[in-house]
Structure 1
Amino acid sequence: MKLPFPLAEVAARHSKWLLMAGTALLVSACSATELANFPDTNRVVARADYLDRKPLPALSDYQVAAQQRVRNLLTRPMTVGAAVEIAMLNTPHLQQVYQSQQIWDEDLVLAMAEAAATETDVNHTEMDWTAARLALMKSVNTVDRFDFPKEYFDTVEDFVEVGEDVRKAYFAAVAAQQLQNMLEHAATATQAAAELANAQYQAGTANRRAQALHHMTHAEVVKALAHAKLEAVSTRETLNRLLGLWGDDANWTAPETLPPLPEARPVFDGLEEFALERRLDHLSERKSWALWHSAVDVRSEVRENYAALQIHYDIAKYQRDTVLPLSDVVLGETQLEYNGMLMGVYDLIDDTRGQVEAGREYVAALRDYWIAEAELVQSVGGALPN
């Protein structure tokens, strides 16, 4: 059984205190509490002496280092990896973890930045796992470990939950901005059409109804744009709250578009078993009957989220490869026939609306795919298999 980052590595570094001989013992170590795991008086005194010699780092040191790192990340368009890293630094609950483990210092910020620099895929990140691993490896609590499996489970689960929330909020915010940009272009086009209709009406080449139809189409797009702007503000501020950003830091730049759809439909073998090996809430169950019920729930959740991922992929791909091209063809042909006076202005306007709607549906479908992936990542324990 393989956990997302090896507890064996911690055991190797602290073998004086951790008697673990492989990943199979990780689960069994948390299945029962033995008296031998509790410290005696001498160990308590030794630990207290160690903590006296290593006082809690100054709050200001961490704050200065974290703020500088965050601002460095915000100098370029926000990626999902940058968003997760910022959340790892700024989330109050995780900061409490750093404080409790006495790693509240600039060294932790630097270690996270160095780990983030090794990531090569801008659309996927394991910074939540990385941050949790660093927190455990740097923690003074590993000096004298009595309940390491429980702390391992609790700590990593906190980081994974924050990572999922940030990923979902990030994709929602980028999608909302992309839709706003698209509707701004559409509003420019419909405004130009309305102005042309005014000129044609004044020249006597178009009637009043045709002029009004162009203006109604432009008005519909303007209203849709207003709602899109509101959605963009709402989703952006949701992400700002998760990232702990305010003031000038909240004015980060969003990418113009969502990450593209993967070329191939996502297919994973043995995903349920993979999740059972990694889901910390499942591994932390101590009674056999609770473990069985947990396994049923985990398997069901994985199947549901995996099906959602594939279906959202199919919808987005169909919208991109079939619906969008067809809407372009329809509008192009309608424009030609309208210019040749073979079709009326209502047909042209109706097909223009269809093209705008097809674009909106594709952005929504692409957003839903990436959010579905984030939910599947969470349901299998924090990262998908290669």
Structure 2
Amino acid sequence: MAMQKHLSSLKAVVSGVALLVLAGCTTFSKDGGMDAVSAMTKERTGQAVQIAKPNADTKPTDETLKQLLGKPLTPDSAVQVALLNNKGLQASFSELGIAEADLVSAGWMRNPSFSFGRMRTGNDVEIERSIMFDVIGLLTIPIRRGIEERRFEQAKLQAASRAVRLATDARKAYFNAVAAQQTAKYMEQVASAAEASAELAKRMAQVGNFSKLDQAREQAFYADATAQVARARHNAAAARERLARLMGVWDEQAAFQLPDRLPDLPKEPKPIQDAETQAMQQRLDIQMTKRGAESTAKALGLSKASRFINVLDIGYQNKSETGASRGNGYEIEVQLPIFDWSGANVAKAEAIYMQAVHRTADTAVRARSEVREAYSAYRTTYDVAKHYRDEVVPLRKKISDEVLLRYNGMLASVFELLADARAQVGSVNAAIEAQRDYWLADTDLQTAINGSGGNNAQLSTPASGEAAQGH
């Protein structure tokens, strides 16, 4: 009769534990968090992302890549290819699964432990059996689950941040590749003109109509132009390969086409209203540090809640001996805080929390500064590029036209005409660099507001006319 009561009590305890566990358990989501990541990425880049699943049909993605790479790339299509095809980004998405697995594990009670003991003394056999349940783990499931939920949300932000960063890098690599290719083609034209000038000087020197000094100058310019072509070709190849790496293309896919020149400047710079406020609301790094501070605060509460009793196991136990009735009962195991009162754990949690708070504040300060810096670079590069487009290049063209008129009127020699062409080299290269810098600064500004920032660069200083001419 007593045994039946013990069994009934044990069943009631086990049933109650099972109900509590099942009520608080967490299951895996259907999308693994990717829907939220894709939505955040699309909001900031205009392009969605997806994770490549094992044994999934890749034909739709392959067809999309084929269509995008089958025509000259644009900044948006380069970003789309990178987000679809970059294997490093796909690898980072796996961290979402790790974070979600931790969340699911936090919603379940720790597995019970079973112990069995058998002792023989002569002909007498003594057997002990017990099963133990982690009660503290059960009571703290809501707190632990809340902590892991915040960490899972933080993992989503981190995944979206990586996607946005990849989109930024791909867009900037695209502009660098197009500008480098444009410069290389222009330098090839310069080298061809320099070769013609050197050949003409050589022939005129042979008939005595040109001094050896002037011939040497023409030959030196041709030699320098040849070296600049080699450098420009390598720079174009390197910029193209960086874009290929970010897009994750290889073999036949690496034969993608780029346009001949950079996009034109917009008529007016884009007005930016309350850029710092937008950054505080949109930047993913700020949201990540906030979530991290919240998770740390919850962890601090858990540390304080379990400061004195952090191990409490309750279980059923029975004992049987030879020639005696089976004994039934229960066992409670409590860890006594005699040597370690968990003061170090609480102090550590408090220090980590304050670290998270200060890190959040530091991120906000840096974000505001980066937005101001990025906007300054954006406006400056726009004004400089517009100045080259509207003032420097037209003025150089006007000078060239005047020299050509003087040459046609036999008021200027062919070498004056070639010297003027050489003088245009620095201006044209500087105009290409200024136009490229504008599009890079535009990308950095959008990243500083919507992404994670931290990628603002100093504006490049174009080479002087003398250096560009090879003198």
Q: What is the TM-score of this pair, normalised by structure 2?
A: 0.57
Contact 2:275 2:371 (C-alpha < 8 Å) held by counterparts: yes
Structure 2 residue 53 is the aligned partner of structure 1 residue 73: no
Please name the residue that 1:249 is paired with: 253
Partners of 2:30 and 2:358 lie apart in 1 by: 41
Q: Which amino acid aligns with 1:47?
A: T
What is the deviation of 1:223?
A: 1.6
Partners of 1:197 and 1:308 lie apart in 2 by: 45
Partners of 1:198 and 1:49 lie apart in 2 by: 77
Q: How does 1:283-322 map to 2 (within 5 A)?
A: 283-286=287-290, 287=293, 289-322=358-391
Larger Rg: 2
Partners of 1:365 and 1:43 lie apart in 2 by: 62
Please name the residue that 1:94 is paired with: 89
What is the deviation of 1:46?
A: 6.7
Contact 1:169 1:238 (C-alpha < 8 Å) held by counterparts: yes
- 1:276-333 per-residue CA deviation (whole Å, 9 max, x = no partner) reads 1101211233356544433221111100010001111111111111111122222333
Please name the residue that 2:21 is paired with: 41
Partners of 1:310 and 1:380 lie apart in 2 by: 15
Structure 2 residue 79 is the aligned partner of structure 1 residue 84: yes
Partners of 1:365 and 1:48 lie apart in 2 by: 51
**231-240 vs 68-77, greater mean Cα deviation:** 68-77
Would you tell me which structure has more strand in proportion to its own residues?
A: 2
Q: Pick the aligned partner of 1:190 from 194, 197, 210.
A: 194
Partners of 1:100 and 1:178 lie apart in 2 by: 40
Structure 2 residue 282 is the aligned partner of structure 1 residue 278: yes
Q: Which amino acid aligns with 2:259?
A: P
Q: Structure 1 pair 57/170, CA: closer, same or farther in 2 (3 Å)?
A: closer
Partners of 1:44 and 1:189 lie apart in 2 by: 78
- 1:23-59 per-residue CA deviation (whole Å, 9 max, x = no partner) reads xxxxxxxxxxxxxxxxx732676726979xxxx9853
Contact 2:285 2:451 (C-alpha < 8 Å) held by counterparts: no
Q: Structure 1 pair 44/222, CA: closer, same or farther in 2 (3 Å)?
A: farther
Partners of 2:436 and 2:57 lie apart in 1 by: 35
Contact 1:150 1:284 (C-alpha < 8 Å) held by counterparts: yes
Gaps (5+ residues) in structure 1? Answer: 1-39, 103-144
Q: Structure 1 pair 153/345, CA: closer, same or farther in 2 (3 Å)?
A: same
Please name the residue that 2:142 is paired with: none
Q: What is the TM-score of this pair, normalised by structure 1?
A: 0.68
- 1:65-106 per-residue CA deviation (whole Å, 9 max, x = no partner) reads 43332222111111111111111122223213555668xxxx
Structure 2 residue 269 is the aligned partner of structure 1 residue 259: no
Q: Number of paired residues?
A: 299
Q: Which amino acid aligns with 1:81?
A: D
Partners of 2:379 and 2:212 lie apart in 1 by: 49
Partners of 1:369 and 1:348 lie apart in 2 by: 32
Contact 2:284 2:451 (C-alpha < 8 Å) held by counterparts: no
Would you tell me which structure has more helix in proportion to its own residues?
A: 1
Structure 2 residue 54 is the aligned partner of structure 1 residue 59: yes
Contact 1:309 1:372 (C-alpha < 8 Å) held by counterparts: yes
Q: Which amino acid aligns with 1:324?
A: V
Q: Which amino acid aligns with 2:178?
A: V
Give SS of 1:179's match.
helix
Partners of 2:77 and 2:63 lie apart in 1 by: 13
Q: Which amino acid aligns with 2:441?
A: A
Gaps (5+ residues) in structure 2? Answer: 1-19, 32-50, 98-147, 294-356, 453-471
Structure 2 residue 157 is the aligned partner of structure 1 residue 162: no
Give SS of 1:47's match.
coil
Q: Which amino acid aligns with 2:423?
A: G
Please name the residue that 1:326 is paired with: 395
What is the deviation of 1:237?
A: 0.9
Contact 1:94 1:158 (C-alpha < 8 Å) held by counterparts: yes
Q: Which amino acid aligns with 1:329?
A: K
